[in-house]
Amino acid sequence: MTRPQVAALVTLRLFIGWHFLYEGLAKLVNPYWTSAEYLDQAGWLFKKQFVALAASPTAVIVVDFLNEWGLLLIGLGLLFGLFTRTAAVAGITLLLLYYIVAPPLVGISSAVPREGSYLIVNKVLIEAAALAVVLLFNTSRSFGLDGLIFRRGPDAAIPSEPSVARAQS
Amino acid sequence: MSDAASNDPTRISRRGWLQSLVAVPVLGVFVFNYLKKRAADDARKQAIMSELGVTESGPAIIPNAISKPPGSKIRVGIIGYGGEGESLVRHAGFASPKWLEDAKKSVAEDPRDKQLDTYLHQDDLNVALTAVCELFDVRAERAIAASQIDQRPGGAAANPPAKRYRRYTDLLESKDVDAVIIATPDVWHSRITIDAAAAGKHVYCEKCMTRTEEEARAMHEAVTRSHVVFQLGHQNRQSEAHNKAREVIAAGVLGPITLVEATTNRNTPWGAWVWDIEAEGSPQTIDWDQFQELAPHKVAFSPERFFRWRCWYDYGTGLAGDLLSHEYDAVNQILGVGIPKSCAASGGIYYFKDGRDAPDTFQAVYEYPDRDLTFVYSATLANGRDRGLALMGHDATMVVGGALTVQADGDSTRYAEKIKDGVIDPGQPLFTYRPGFKGIDAVTSATERYFASRGLLYTYRGGRRVSAYHLLIGEWLDVIRNGGQTSCNIDRGFEEAITCHMATRSYLEGRKVTWDPVRRRIM
C-alpha cells in the first residue's frame, strides 16, 4: 500500500473516531438528550421493539447510557487505534441500528428532520460503509495503540503497510 | 545498539512509537476545541441566564399535591358520573371495571399507552367513594362498580360499594359523605355547591364554575361564608410549565406585555362535544325531568341534549365555559390579571350545524386598561392547527403549553446590546423549559393530544408522569385534612366565571360588555 493510501485510511479512521467521540460527549453532557424521540418514530424493521423501548422509562435510561458511552468509547478506540476492530464492528452495528430506525426508503416517512436529500443511502449508511473500510484495511497496528499491544502476537505484522515493512527491513 | 536488538521483530522503533501515538496530537486538537466550545456555550448561557434572572431548573415553588401523608380517610360522593365525573373519580383512585379492561387492551396494542401505568402509580389518597348521584342508571351502576374496584393505585384495599342517591340533596344529607365532587352540567354547579356548603361538605367543582353571572355571585358568597374547602377543576394550576412561566414573568423577562393570545383548535366531532349517545339511554333509564329542572327552556326527552349537553346554552356555557375558561385560568395563574374591564365577543355555528345553539367558532377580546394589556381568545372546533398560548412582551415572547419557550424579540430594547453582540439570537429560543421526562407517552385521541399540549392532562414531578387531575384532587384533599389554600379557590373561580360570562353575554347580546367592579355587575 502506498503512503498516500495509508494516510487516507488513517485520516478516515481518525475523522470517524472524532465524530463518534464528539457525538458521545455532546449527548453525555446534555441532560435533556434522550434517544426516546428517535426510537419512537421508528417506521421500518423492528418498529414494535423500538417503540416499546421508547415507551419504557427504564429501557430509555439504559439505551441512553449505552448510546452515550458506546459512542464515546468507540470514538476513543478509533481515534487511538485501540481495539480498533472491536470498535469498528460496534460502530457499524450502532450505525445500522440508527439506519433501520429511520431509513430514507420509499414509503417510509420519518419525523426526524433531515439536513439533506436522501434516497436509500444516507450519511449514516455511508459512515457505516466507511467504518467497514476502516475494519478491513486496519491501520491501527502501525498507526495506533493496537500496534504496541498486539505487536508480540502471532499475526502482528501487516506486511502491506510500509511502516511494518520498514521495521522488518 | 546491538545487532540482536535491532533485528528483534518485536522491538518498536522510535518512528513506530510516534506512528502508534498519531492520535495524541489529534486528541489534543479535539480537547482544545471541545473546551473552547464548552466555555463559549457556558459563557453565552451564563450571560443570558444572569440577564434573565431565572434558572433552568424546575419551578422554585411547585404547589405540593400532598404535604403530609393522608392521615384520615375522606369519604367522597360523586355528583354526575359522565365522562368528566368518571375521569375525576378515577384520578381519586377508583377506575371503573370497563375503563380498566379498555386500558389493558390499549396497552397490549400499544406499549406507549401509559394511562394504566399512570393510574396504578397514583398516590393512594386514602379516600372512599361512598355515594353516587347520577341521573342515568347505567352510569350510576358503573360508578358503584368503580367504588368497590380492587385494582387500586398503590395496592390500596377495595372499599364497600357506594350508595346511589336519586337526588343530590339526599346525598348531601348522608352522614357517610365528607366531600363531594361535582361534575354535572354547568347549570347545576351553583345550586349543588351552595347546598353542599350549607351541609358542610367540601366541594371540588368542575369548570365552568357556574352557568350565569348571578349564580357566580351567589356561589361565591355561599362558599366564602362557609368553612368548606373549595377547589375549581383547573388542572393547569398543577402544571410544572405553568408554574415555571409564572416565575419567568415575575423575573420580567418579557418586558411590558401588551398582548396575550390564547387559542383553541380542535377538529374532531368529539372535540366539538358530539359525544357518544349510549344505547341504553331512554326516558326509562334517565331522569330527564331532573336533568332539565334548572334549564331555562324545557323540551321533550332528547338523548342528544342529555349526552351532548355542552352544545346547548340551556345546560352549559359553550366554548367560553368549556375551553376559554382553562385558557383564561392559565393566564390568570401566570399573570394574575383578574376580571377584565371589557369584552367584545363574536362567532357563530359555522361547521357543526347539528341543532346546537352554542357556537363552534368563537373569538373574545378582553381589555385590561389598568395593566395596559389586551387578552385575545380565538377558537374553532373545525381546524386542528396548534397555535398555543402566547404572551407577547416588548422584549420577548413566551409560548406556554406542556413545555415553555421564550424567544427574544428582534427589536427588544433590553436585549438590544446582547443581540448586537451575538450573545442572544432572536431566531433561537432564549430559554426552553421542558419538564423532565425521558420516554414517550402515547396520547391516544385528538382531544387528549389537545389537552396534553396545554399541560392540562399530565405534568411531571421528579421526572415521573403524573396526572394533573390527580394532583389537583390531591391538593384539595390535603387542604381538607391539613388546612391552607387550594390553588384554584372560590376567588379565582369567581374571576373565571365572570370572565367567561362576559364573553358569552357579549356574544349573545351582540355588544361589548364591561365589568363594574364596585357593583360587581356585568354591564
Measured between beta carbons, the chain A residues lying within 8 angstroms of B22 are 10, 14, 81, 143-144
A21 CA: distance to closest CA in chain B (Å): 9
A18 has a chain B CB within 8 A of its CB: yes
Q: What is the pLDDT of residue B310?
A: 98
Higher pLDDT, residue B53 or B92: B92
Amino acid at B336: G
Measured between beta carbons, the chain B residues lying within 8 angstroms of A79 are 23, 26-27, 30
Q: List the 88-107 stretch of A: residues with Cβ below 8 A of B.
A: none
Stretch A40-59: mean pLDDT: 85
Stretch A127-154: mean pLDDT: 86
Q: What is the pLDDT of residue B345?
A: 98
Q: Is B438 in Cβ contact with A167 (below 8 Å)?
A: no
Residue-wise pLDDT for B224-234, tens only, equals 999 999 999 99
Residue B399 has pLDDT above 80, yes or no: yes
Q: What is the pLDDT of residue A111?
A: 58
At residue B135's C-alpha, the angle toward residues B505 and B468, to 5°, is: 65
Read off the pLDDT band of A164 (50, 70, 90): very low
A125 CA: distance to closest CA in chain B (Å): 25
Name the pairing type of β-strands B257-265 and B373-380. parallel
Give CA–CA dist B405/B431, Å, rounded. Answer: 6
Average pLDDT, chain B: 90
Measured between beta carbons, the chain A residues lying within 8 angstroms of B464 are 57
Q: What are the DSSP calls for B83-120, one per residue? A: HHHHHHHHHTT---HHHHHHHHHHHHH-TTB-HHHHHH
**Closest-CA residue of chain A to B18:** A143
Residues facing B406 on adjacent strands: B398, B431
Residue-wise pLDDT for B118-129, tens only, equals 899 898 999 999
E strands, B413-499, where? 429-433, 458-461, 464-467
Stretch A104-123: mean pLDDT: 79
Higher pLDDT, residue A89 or A102: A89
Residues facing B133 on adjacent strands: B79, B165
Q: What are the DSSP calls for B356-391, one per residue? A: --S-SEEEEEEEEGGGTEEEEEEEESS------EEE
pTM here? 0.84
A119 has a chain B CB within 8 A of its CB: no
Question: Which among B109, B101, B187 is positioned nearest to B149, based on CA atoms?
Answer: B101
- For chain B, domain boundaries: 74-236, 238-464+473-522
Q: Is A34 in Cβ contact with B439 (below 8 Å)?
A: yes
Residue B138 has pLDDT above 60, yes or no: yes
Residue-wise pLDDT for A68-86, tens only, equals 999 999 999 999 999 999 9
Of A64, A79, A167, the CB nearest to B27: A79
A118 CA: distance to closest CA in chain B (Å): 27
Of the CA atoms within 13 Å of residue B439, those in its CB half-sphere come to 22
Q: Is B27 in Cβ contact with A147 (below 8 Å)?
A: no
Q: How many helices (H) and strands (E) does chain A have?
A: 8, 0
**Closest-CA residue of chain B to A6:** B19
Give CA–CA dist B482/B67, Å, rounded. Answer: 8
Name the pairing type of β-strands B202-205 and B361-368. unpaired
A96 CA: distance to closest CA in chain B (Å): 22
Look up the CATH number of domain B238-464+473-522. Answer: 3.30.360.10
Query: With contact defined as beta carbons under 8 Å apart, do B334 and B371 qualify?
Result: no
In this structure, the number of other CB atoms found within 10 A of the CB of residue B333 comes to 21
Stretch B283-292: mean pLDDT: 98
Name the pairing type of β-strands B361-368 and B396-400. unpaired
Residue-wise pLDDT for B488-510, tens only, equals 999 999 999 999 999 999 999 99
Residue B1 has pLDDT above 60, yes or no: no
Q: What is the pLDDT of residue B10?
A: 65
Measured between beta carbons, the chain B residues lying within 8 angstroms of A21 are 30
The correct CATH number of B74-236 out of 3.60.130.10, 3.40.50.11540, 3.30.450.20, 3.40.50.720 is: 3.40.50.720
Residue-wise pLDDT for B299-316, tens only, equals 999 999 999 999 999 999
Q: What is the pLDDT of residue B522?
A: 98
Residue-wise pLDDT for B321-380, tens only, equals 999 999 999 999 999 999 999 999 999 999 999 999 999 999 999 999 999 999 999 999
Q: What is the pLDDT of residue B4?
A: 47
Question: Which among B417, B377, B375 is positioned nearest to B395, based on CA atoms?
Answer: B417
Question: Which among B483, B451, B457 is positioned nearest to B472, based on CA atoms?
Answer: B457
Q: What is the pLDDT of residue B462?
A: 63
Listed range (B124-138, B159-173, B442-456) with the worst mean pLDDT: B442-456
Q: Grid coordinates in use for A61?
A: 435510561
Read off the pLDDT band of B438 (50, 70, 90): low
Stretch B456-471: mean pLDDT: 77
Stretch A36-54: mean pLDDT: 86
Higher pLDDT, residue B436 or B258: B258
Of B10, B26, B439, the CB nearest to A54: B439
Higher pLDDT, residue B175 or B464: B175
Q: Is B34 in Cβ contact with A143 (below 8 Å)?
A: no
Q: Grid coordinates in use for B315?
A: 345546560
Listed range (A46-60, B24-38, B467-481) with the worst mean pLDDT: A46-60
Q: What is the pLDDT of residue B221?
A: 98
With a pLDDT cut of 70, the percent of chain A lying above it is 86
Q: Is B518 exposed, middle or buried (0-12, 13-18, 19+ CB in 10 A)?
A: exposed
Read off the pLDDT band of B2 (50, 70, 90): very low
Task: Return the percent helix, strand and coil in chain B, to nearest 5.
Answer: 40, 20, 40
Q: Grid coordinates in use for A77?
A: 478506540
Q: Is B26 in Cβ contact with A79 (below 8 Å)?
A: yes
Residue-wise pLDDT for B12-51, tens only, equals 788 888 888 888 999 999 999 999 999 988 888 887 777 7
Q: Is A148 in Cβ contact with B20 (below 8 Å)?
A: yes
Measured between beta carbons, the chain A residues lying within 8 angstroms of B26 are 14, 18, 79
At residue B130's C-alpha, the angle toward residues B125 and B131, to 5°, is: 125
Q: Is A32 in Cβ contact with B16 (below 8 Å)?
A: no
Read off the pLDDT band of A154 (50, 70, 90): very low
Measured between beta carbons, the chain A residues lying within 8 angstroms of B110 are 51
Amino acid at B200: G
Q: What is the pLDDT of residue A158?
A: 46
Q: What is the pLDDT of residue B59?
A: 66
Higher pLDDT, residue B342 or A166: B342
Read off the pLDDT band of A110 (50, 70, 90): low
Q: Is A18 in Cβ contact with B26 (below 8 Å)?
A: yes
Q: What is the pLDDT of residue A150?
A: 79
Give CA–CA dist B196/B202, Å, rounded. Answer: 7
Q: Grid coordinates in use for A169?
A: 527491513
Q: Grid coordinates in use for A15?
A: 475523522
Query: With contact defined as beta carbons under 8 Å apart, do A100 and A38 qualify?
Result: no
Q: List the 102-141 stretch of B: residues with Cβ below 8 A of A.
A: 110-114
- For chain A, domain boundaries: 3-168
